[in-house]
């Protein structure tokens, strides 16, 4: 595939303006925070808590971090966790931990909302505060860490992947310790470095998770099924829906498996196109499930087929087999999982020399088109991997299978 130099020039220009906008947003927020910081009482004698954790990230990043959060808070008597308000449903059954919900967009652009959230958090004095946003500086999580009252503040060394080095110059001074990690390494390896620094073990955690077991059998779903998650957040990271039709038809013809389609309201139209042409009458749950139900549908499935999205990490959290259509934008950072682990994620890839571009694709604009590292992943590659898996693990036992080493499945 040829590179268009005109496209490259426009991409560079677009990146430049994005950087300028980010710097303006940072300066605006930093000045507001300076005013807020000057107004609060610094009394350290009231409302002491052992730990505050800030995790304002995408859903997949959150699920990658849940077990680490569980380990950290299991060592503390009291804790506050700050998470994105869009995940309120997921934490609706959380007990024993104070969950603070933050609307990231409102926090960034609404000074009154920002003031109210900080005024609540500043009622507490924290013995230790941890920013679990691995890719930082992150304007909201760094702002919260800056403004709260805490004996010790811990975060990650900036990778400047999606943010501003100017912001990091100011925010990094707010931390007592920054965990170093390979910018291209897997997120779990970075979290492991944090746990090592904190002196927290990596064994199983006793007690309940901050996300209670989602032990529901979703309505309208009877018997065994597998799930296909259609979305990926960005248009360019979505596999062609016609490929999914081929996979659904293969699994129904060969094994008689029932498919459930998952996605947000953005995937409703695509789901309808698939249902019109797919065998076995797939059940459409796109745009119809809450976040908690979405996770429950994945937890109760036999296995998952997905783009590189939150569905893969939710499946991994619940120890479910998943087949991931994986692009090269940040290959190795989320998928594949570390080889030394016991991951059940099977990545399907089309290797290219430009892997690691952080989705700054030189061929297409991923907000509009699918890059070749994804579009050239062929359905036959996925079918071949599935045949291999099902040969070693009979399909009627998929709820309990533990796949053989991934090298057996991946060409």
Per-residue pLDDT of the chain (411 residues; tens, 9 = 90+): 666 666 566 666 666 677 777 778 888 888 888 888 877 755 555 689 999 999 999 999 999 999 999 999 988 999 999 999 999 988 888 888 999 999 999 999 999 999 999 999 988 999 999 999 998 888 999 999 999 999 999 999 987 666 677 888 889 999 999 998 887 889 999 999 999 999 986 555 555 678 766 555 455 566 689 999 999 988 889 999 999 999 999 999 998 999 999 999 999 999 999 999 999 999 999 999 889 889 999 998 999 999 999 999 999 999 999 999 999 998 999 999 988 778 899 999 999 999 988 888 888 888 889 999 999 999 999 999 999 888 765 554 554 444 333 333 232
Q: Angle at the Cα of 14 (from 352 to 18), degrees rounded to 5?
A: 105
Domain annotation covers residue 104: yes
Let me know whether 186 and 145 are in one domain: yes
Nearby residues of 150 by Cβ (< 8 Å), 6 or more positions away: 52, 125, 126, 127, 128, 129
The whole-model pTM stands at 0.89
Does one domain contain both 281 and 153?
no
Q: DSSP letter at 182?
A: -
214 falls within a domain = no
Alpha-carbon distance of 408 to 165, in angstroms, equals: 42
Q: Is residue 219 part of a domain?
A: no
Residue 273's domain comprises 226-408
The domain that contains 173 carries what CATH number?
3.40.50.2000
261 with 300, same domain?
Answer: yes
Tokens of 387: 């045949």
The reply to whether 184 and 121 lie within a common domain is yes
Q: Are residues 56 and 182 in the same domain?
A: yes
Whether residues 88 and 173 share a domain: the answer is yes
* CA dist list (Å): 250 to 33, 96, 246, 257, 274: 56, 46, 6, 9, 14
7 lies in a domain?
Answer: no
Q: 334 lies in a domain?
A: yes
Q: Is 254 found in the same domain as 187?
A: no
Answer yes or no: is 40 within a domain.
no
Residue 283: inside a domain: yes
Number of domains forming the structure of the chain: 2
Distance between CA atoms of 374 and 325, rounded to whole angstroms?
7
Of 207, 215, 214, 211, the closest CA to residue 81 belongs to 211
CA–CA separation, 286 vs 263, rounded Å? 4
């Amino acid at each position: 595939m040829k590179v268009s130099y005109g496209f490259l020039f426009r991409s560079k220009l677009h990146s430049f303006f994005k950087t300028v906008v980010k710097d303006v947003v940072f300066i605006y927020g930093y000045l507001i925070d300076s005013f807020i910081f000057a107004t609060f009482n610094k009394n350290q004698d009231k409302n002491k808590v052992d730990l505050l954790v800030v995790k304002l990230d995408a859903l997949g990043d959150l699920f990658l971090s849940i077990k680490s959060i569980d380990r950290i808070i299991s060592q503390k008597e009291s804790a506050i966790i700050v998470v994105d308000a869009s995940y309120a449903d997921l934490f609706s059954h959380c007990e024993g931990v104070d969950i603070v919900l933050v609307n990231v967009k409102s926090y960034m652009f609404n000074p009154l909302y920002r003031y109210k959230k900080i005024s609540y958090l500043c009622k507490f004095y924290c013995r230790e505060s941890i920013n679990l946003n691995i890719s930082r500086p992150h304007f909201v999580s760094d702002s919260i860490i800056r403004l709260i009252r805490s004996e010790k503040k811990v975060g990650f060394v900036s990778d400047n992947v999606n943010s501003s080095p100017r912001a990091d110059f100011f925010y990094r001074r707010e931390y007592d310790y920054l965990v170093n990690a390979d910018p291209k390494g897997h997120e779990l390896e970075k979290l492991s470095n944090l746990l090592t620094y904190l002196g927290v073990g990596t064994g199983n955690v006793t007690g309940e998770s901050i996300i209670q077991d989602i032990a529901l059998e979703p309505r309208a779903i009877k018997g065994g099924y597998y799930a296909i998650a259609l979305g990926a957040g960005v248009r360019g990271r979505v596999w062609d829906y016609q490929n999914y039709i081929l996979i659904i038809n293969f699994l129904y013809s060969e094994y008689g498996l029932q498919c459930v389609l998952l996605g947000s309201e953005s995937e409703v139209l695509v789901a309808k196109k698939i249902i019109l042409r797919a065998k076995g009458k797939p059940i459409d749950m796109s745009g119809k499930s809450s976040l908690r139900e979405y996770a429950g549908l994945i937890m109760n499935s036999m296995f998952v087929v997905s783009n590189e999205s939150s569905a893969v990490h939710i499946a991994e959290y619940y120890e479910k087999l998943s087949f991931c259509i994986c692009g090269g934008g940040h290959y190795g950072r989320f998928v594949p999982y570390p080889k030394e682990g016991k991951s059940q994620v099977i990545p399907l890839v089309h290797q290219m020399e430009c892997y690691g571009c952080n989705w700054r694709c030189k061929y297409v604009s991923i907000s509009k088109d699918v890059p070749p590292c994804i579009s050239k992943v062929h359905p036959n590659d996925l079918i071949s991997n599935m045949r291999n898996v099902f040969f070693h693990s009979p399909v009627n036992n998929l709820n309990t299978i533990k796949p053989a080493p991934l090298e057996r499945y991946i060409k």
